[in-house]
Amino acid sequence: MFERTERHKSTVDEIRQTFDDEVETYANLETGQAATVDSPLAMSLVAEAAAMTTPHATSVLDVGCGAGNYTLKLLERIPSLHITLVDLSRPMLDRAVQRIQPLVTGPVDAIQSDIRHLDLGRQRFDILLASAVLHHLRTDDEWRTVFQKFHAALKPGGSLWIFDLVESRIPEVKDLLWRRYGEHLTSVHGEACRDEMFERIIREDTPRSVTFQLDLLREVGFSEVEILHKRFCYAAFGAVKR
């Protein structure tokens, strides 16, 4: 059902347009990702893990920031941060800046870009957040390049935290988890939401397993990796650069 192929997948422009049209849907700390599983819990865990592993952080890069939910949650624990936001969608960036700017004293840098084509520099950030964005990467080479960028962009002692759609490398387990996720969507939001979400995933996304991503994080240089939470086909996990 969810094959790793670029055929019939949405283009970057099509994905950008989709998110341009969904700004207010995502601009809610509790329900901004209603079709994901345990999103509020994952957001809280990511913020707490980032604050505890990188307590003296002064800068954060939020990749695929959407309307800014993860940065807002992190600011509850580390209020004095220089914020850099990256997203495909200009309306999403504008909404994120509108929500975040009143809470910080410094500037909020907002960059409209595809992370695959953006130079993040070296050792610029203490914390890097990536929520519900990496599943838009297509090939293994793209995943490796982006993870290499993330490692290079973090200062020593910095941390990377991800919440995303994932799959299993074991076909039977993959089928089980997607079935359970479908049952969850149906019970919470109804069959129409389930069908719409599955169609969107097929159209837009090429997720990878947690094990693939943890292995890749180690491969590009992260010395410590950890899973914070996993349920069905969504997971929160991260890595620390020592």
Does pLDDT of 39 surpass 70? yes
pLDDT of residue 32: 54
Architecture of the domain delimited by 12-240: 3-Layer(aba) Sandwich (3.40)
pTM of the model: 0.92
Does pLDDT of 101 surpass 90? yes
Q: What is the pLDDT of residues 144-199, one digit of tens each?
A: 999 999 999 999 999 999 999 999 999 999 999 999 999 999 998 899 989 999 99
205 and 165 Cβ atoms separated by less than 8 Å? yes
Comparing CA positions, the residue from 39, 41, 37, 42 lying closest to residue 231 is 37
pLDDT of residue 33: 65
Q: Where are the domains of the chain?
A: 12-240
